[in-house]
Amino acid sequence: MRYGHFDDVRREYVITRPDTPLPWINYLGSEDYFGIISNTAGGYSFYRDARLRRLTRYRYNNAPLDLGGRYVYLRDDASGDYWSPSWQPTQRDLDDYTCRHGLGYSIISSRYQGIRAETLYFVPAGETLEVWRVRVTNERAVPATLSLFSSVEFCLWDAQDDATNFQRNYSVGEVEVEDGVIYHKTEYRERRNHFAFFACSEPLAGFDTQRDAFLGPYRSWDRPIGVERGFASNSIAHGWQPSGSHHVRLELRPGETREIVFLLGYAENPADAKFDPPGSQTIDKRRVRPTIARYLQPDVVADAFEALQSRWTDLLGICRAETGNEHVDRMVNIWNPYQCMVTFNMSRSASLFESGIGRGMGFRDTSQDLLGFVHLVPARARERLLDVASTQLPTGGAYHQYQPLTKRGNNDVGSGFNDDPAWLVVSVAAYLKETGDSSILDEALPFDNQPGTERPLYEHLQRSIQYTLDRLGPHGLPLIGRADWNDCLNLNCFSETPGESFQTTENRSGGVAESVFIAALFVLAAGELAAIAGLRGDAAEAARSLAAASEMRRAVDQHGWDGAWFRRAYDFFGRPVGSAENDEGQIFIEPQGMCVLAGIGIDDGRARTALDSVRERLATPHGIVLLQPAFTRYHLHLGEISTYPGGYKENAGVFCHTNPWVMIGETRVRNGDAALDCYLRINPSAREDLSETHRGEPYVYAQMIAGADAATPGEAKNTWLTGTAAWNFVAISQWILGIRPEHDGLRIDPCVPVAWGDFTATRRFRGATYRIAVRKRPGTSGCVTRLRVDGRTIEGNLVPLPSSTEAVIEVEAFVDAPVEDVVEATP
């Protein structure tokens, strides 16, 4: 069953009933001001940091799950009946309802008793405010007398403190109201020089700024007293819960539409010019007034909305494909890049599964996210790489995360996750392939942000590689440290104390537990460093890295192979993990994906064997689960992974992030059918018909889909902020469709199902636009043998870099080998 449909032309998902299985959210903003918004207008807003500069309050894990947000209310002043056009919170039976989630905006519209209301929510580019444009139409045959109320609940800035420190916070709240604009200025009197504003384009009949005055004691957002009785009480908040609500009266003729704009925004004043007049305690509003006045004008709002849409048209033009498979096309062309941009902006901070007060930016998460957005915003990717690399430790190791506001590493979730440094090499390589901007390698960056320690980024990469080499275990495999990519495989933790953090606890450190996954990642990263060194003419480093990679391959050959798949690790006692020898957790997905992706086992058949084992033992209709058999009890020596009930999260859930590694692996052994099949199982659009089972948004990937061992197989959780977005984009666009940026050109190397025919794609790359036509008869293999570039034939599948004068390059890629040839040619 579905709860809506895709509108690919408008690039929207259109939800047609409000009671989706879970709140289905979207994001507003893409620079400094952000918000999350659900299909019933729930959610919150913040400036830059979801924890430290939270504008509006949101209670997570509420009942219902999603309550509190950007609600407007309409009241029929003749009958006294009132409703929320976004369904929540009043939950009236609306005659119709749609929520259009688009790229950076949402439009919620409905009709109730002959009154249509449509609210557009978005953040104009370059501004630190959000617009709510409400259009109310009287579709009745008679005039309508209506009241419109807005509402927000302010957060007292630090969301963590706001949710805990009530003995203070109930006394500090302050607001000002001037010319109908509500200013929230809690703590402005002291060390803050920022405030929030909430404005309305219409003359007000009244306002409220004290939550209890608006809602009434013992009432909630579903029946505010102000709305029920039809007038506001002009309350001024002193302490308690500052909120904002405007009351506007509307007289509408039959057929008449009125447009009302509300603005919610964030503003700062210089620390020495906070007050007007100086010496008073009144906010100096001279800087913010012009901005407010501007965006209260309908044509300014319309232009800003159009600008937002053209920006996305431009971004989405960078990489497009028309394959004829709607699930592939709409993810590649619309939703996957959008999700990548959101993960870039948010890291893992704010979603319905991430509370905004938890984690900073992960070192490995950020590095992997970059793979999905580097083609969209290369300049911001560059900046992000410099930030991340500047937090690297002198050993080459990493803090596991850093704070976006300070850009400093923090130890809250520890360090010593031994895979972290290698990801930096992988992401810098992706940046270089996309842009060719080798100047980044010479950027002098500090270690641990310490002035005086600056060394070129190139050296940071060398130290990343050295970090692994300095930490090899008894089998010559990398020590796992606190954990590797799998945060829950904690081989040195041995935690027996309730509540102790698996992320920071290391109760025993034997220097023995090793990771086959890091070994494979190392092979990949060392290969990338060798290529980078080659480009710089540093033959010695290239040779050293290649030799280290070969040595690591040998260690994997000797100690990482279990007979029919790659082992996962060696534990604290030197015993294999992810082996047929184990009772539970015999096979893990990560080393199968990463080893084959890194090229291990391709020449001797083990890659195919490992992937066959994945298909036999781990594949389910809902994607490939992380391991089998699931752990049925807590294993002290394995850690958090065995704390989850079977089928969830790292304990045999479909941890979607890992699936694209297998897809890429399948393309490396030229099995396009298996690669695409694997992709479609976790592709949200392809799962749209399963919405009642899947439950998450059908337009974005989930971090986790419950596995076969779960009570709810196929149920998605942790949608939006997941490395799945970046890796799926890489797998589908670069390896399955095969349009892959490389240092010396654009590789055209599709590995698609045998039954596929021709398809086309467009890629902007290094300043030129490549118009690519893949000429493939159904039944052929997917290997390009010949290219025609602007009419000239080239052997092989690499389109050379454009000369500076070429703006548009026509590429025809011929796939003419019959299937049998390739099957024979591949061991």
Q: Using CB under 6 A as the criterion, what x/- string covers residues 308-347 for binding ligand NOJ?
A: ----------------------------------------
The interface partner of residue 503, options being ligand BGC, ligand NOJ, none and the CB cut-off 5 to 8 Å by kind, is ligand BGC
Applying CB under 6 A, the span of 15-23, 219-227, 361-369, 406-414 interacting with ligand NOJ comes to: 361-369
The residue from 12, 76, 284, 365 that contacts ligand NOJ (CB under 6 A) is 365
Taking the complex as a whole, how short is the minimal distance between the CB of residue 189 and ligand NOJ, in angstroms? 39
Which has the closest alpha carbon to 173: 153, 144, 203, 147?
Answer: 153
Question: What whole-number distance in Å separates Cα of residue 629 and Cα of residue 709?
Answer: 9
Please say if 487 is a catalytic residue: yes
Taking the complex as a whole, how short is the minimal distance between the CB of residue 487 and ligand BGC, in angstroms? 4
The residue from 488, 489, 524, 726 that contacts ligand BGC (CB under 6 A) is 488
Question: What whole-number distance in Å separates Cα of residue 783 and Cα of residue 789?
Answer: 17
Can residue 457 be called a binding residue for ligand NOJ (CB under 6 A)? Answer: no
Pick between residue 178 and residue 500 the one whose CB is nearest to ligand NOJ.
500
Question: What whole-number distance in Å separates Cα of residue 77 and Cα of residue 58?
Answer: 30
Strand ranges (DSSP E) for 33-164? Answer: 33-38, 43-47, 54-56, 71-76, 82-83, 96-102, 105-112, 115-122, 129-138, 144-157
> In the beta sheet, which residues pair with residue 789?
792, 811
Task: Number of residues interacting with ligand BGC: please give it, by CB under 6 A.
Answer: 5
Question: What whole-number distance in Å separates Cα of residue 150 and Cα of residue 247?
Answer: 7
Pair of tokens at residue 30: 């893409």
Q: Is 615 exposed, middle or buried (0-12, 13-18, 19+ CB in 10 A)?
A: middle
The interface partner of residue 365, options being ligand BGC, ligand NOJ, none and the CB cut-off 5 to 8 Å by kind, is ligand NOJ
Which has the closest alpha carbon to 737: 596, 745, 729?
Answer: 729
Taking the complex as a whole, how short is the minimal distance between the CB of residue 503 and ligand BGC, in angstroms? 6
Pair of tokens at residue 244: 């904002």
Question: What whole-number distance in Å separates Cα of residue 754 and Cα of residue 752?
Answer: 6
The residue from 208, 487, 514, 688 that contacts ligand BGC (CB under 6 A) is 487
Can residue 503 be called a binding residue for ligand BGC (CB under 6 A)? Answer: yes
Pick between residue 82 and residue 402 the one whose CB is nearest to ligand NOJ.
402
Q: Is 423 exposed, middle or buried (0-12, 13-18, 19+ CB in 10 A)?
A: buried
Q: How far is CA 718 from CA 25, 654, 655, 701, 722, in A?
A: 12, 12, 10, 9, 8
By CB under 6 A, what part of segment 103-132 binds ligand NOJ? none
Can residue 561 be called a binding residue for ligand NOJ (CB under 6 A)? Answer: no
The interface partner of residue 362, options being ligand NOJ, ligand BGC, none and the CB cut-off 5 to 8 Å by kind, is ligand NOJ
Taking the complex as a whole, how short is the minimal distance between the CB of residue 489 and ligand NOJ, in angstroms? 8
Taking the complex as a whole, how short is the minimal distance between the CB of residue 414 and ligand NOJ, in angstroms? 13
The residue from 56, 418, 468, 486 that contacts ligand NOJ (CB under 6 A) is 486
Can residue 717 be called a binding residue for ligand NOJ (CB under 6 A)? Answer: no
Can residue 649 be called a binding residue for ligand BGC (CB under 6 A)? Answer: yes
Contact in structure between 590 and 618 (CB atoms under 8 Å): no
The residue from 185, 285, 364, 617 that contacts ligand NOJ (CB under 6 A) is 364
Angle at 95 (CA atoms; ends 91, 98), nearest 5 degrees:
80
Pick between residue 243 and residue 366 the one whose CB is nearest to ligand NOJ.
366
Residue with tokens 């298909």, as numbered in its chain: 615
Can residue 485 be called a binding residue for ligand NOJ (CB under 6 A)? Answer: yes
Taking the complex as a whole, how short is the minimal distance between the CB of residue 360 and ligand NOJ, in angstroms? 11
Which has the closest alpha carbon to 185: 262, 279, 267?
Answer: 267
Pick between residue 561 and residue 648 the one whose CB is nearest to ligand BGC.
648
Can residue 487 be called a binding residue for ligand NOJ (CB under 6 A)? Answer: yes
Pick between residue 208 and residue 487 the one whose CB is nearest to ligand NOJ.
487
Applying CB under 6 A, the span of 97-105, 325-333, 479-487, 740-748 interacting with ligand NOJ comes to: 479-487
Applying CB under 6 A, the span of 61-69, 337-345, 482-490, 812-820 interacting with ligand NOJ comes to: 482-490
SS3 475: coil
- As a whole number of Å, the end-to-end CA separation of the chain is 43
Can residue 465 be called a binding residue for ligand BGC (CB under 6 A)? Answer: no
Question: What whole-number distance in Å separates Cα of residue 491 and Cα of residue 571?
Answer: 6
Catalytic hit among 158, 208, 487, 571: 487
Pick between residue 27 and residue 661 the one whose CB is nearest to ligand NOJ.
661
Using Cβ positions, the residue closest to ligand BGC within the complex turns out to be: 487
Can residue 650 be called a binding residue for ligand NOJ (CB under 6 A)? Answer: yes
Contact in structure between 808 and 769 (CB atoms under 8 Å): yes
The interface partner of residue 485, options being ligand BGC, ligand NOJ, none and the CB cut-off 5 to 8 Å by kind, is ligand NOJ
The residue from 89, 124, 362, 707 that contacts ligand NOJ (CB under 6 A) is 362
The single-letter DSSP state of residue 334 is I
Taking the complex as a whole, how short is the minimal distance between the CB of residue 431 and ligand BGC, in angstroms? 24
Strand ranges (DSSP E) for 606-664? Answer: 619-620, 623-624, 627-628, 654-655
The residue from 348, 568, 608, 776 that contacts ligand NOJ (CB under 6 A) is 348
Q: What is the DSSP string of 779-804?
A: TB-S---EEEETTEEEESSEEEPPPT
Pick between residue 649 and residue 670 the one whose CB is nearest to ligand BGC.
649
The residue from 650, 688, 697, 812 that contacts ligand BGC (CB under 6 A) is 650
Q: Cα torsion at 97, 98, 99, 101 (round to 10°)?
A: 180
Question: What whole-number distance in Å separates Cα of residue 237 and Cα of residue 212?
Answer: 9
The interface partner of residue 671, options being ligand BGC, ligand NOJ, none and the CB cut-off 5 to 8 Å by kind, is none
Contact in structure between 784 and 719 (CB atoms under 8 Å): no
Q: What are the φ/ψ torsions at residue 410 (nearest 5 degrees)?
A: -130, 155
Can residue 592 be called a binding residue for ligand BGC (CB under 6 A)? Answer: no
The interface partner of residue 486, options being ligand BGC, ligand NOJ, none and the CB cut-off 5 to 8 Å by kind, is ligand NOJ
Contact in structure between 778 and 754 (CB atoms under 8 Å): yes
Question: What whole-number distance in Å separates Cα of residue 366 and Cα of residue 401?
Answer: 9
Q: What are the φ/ψ torsions at residue 219 (nearest 5 degrees)?
A: -120, 160
Peptide bond into 474 cis (omega under 30): no
Return residues touching ligand NOJ (CB under 6 A). 348, 362, 364-365, 485-488, 650
Return residues touching ligand BGC (CB under 6 A). 487-488, 503, 649-650
Report, as residue numbers or ranges, the catalytic residues: 487
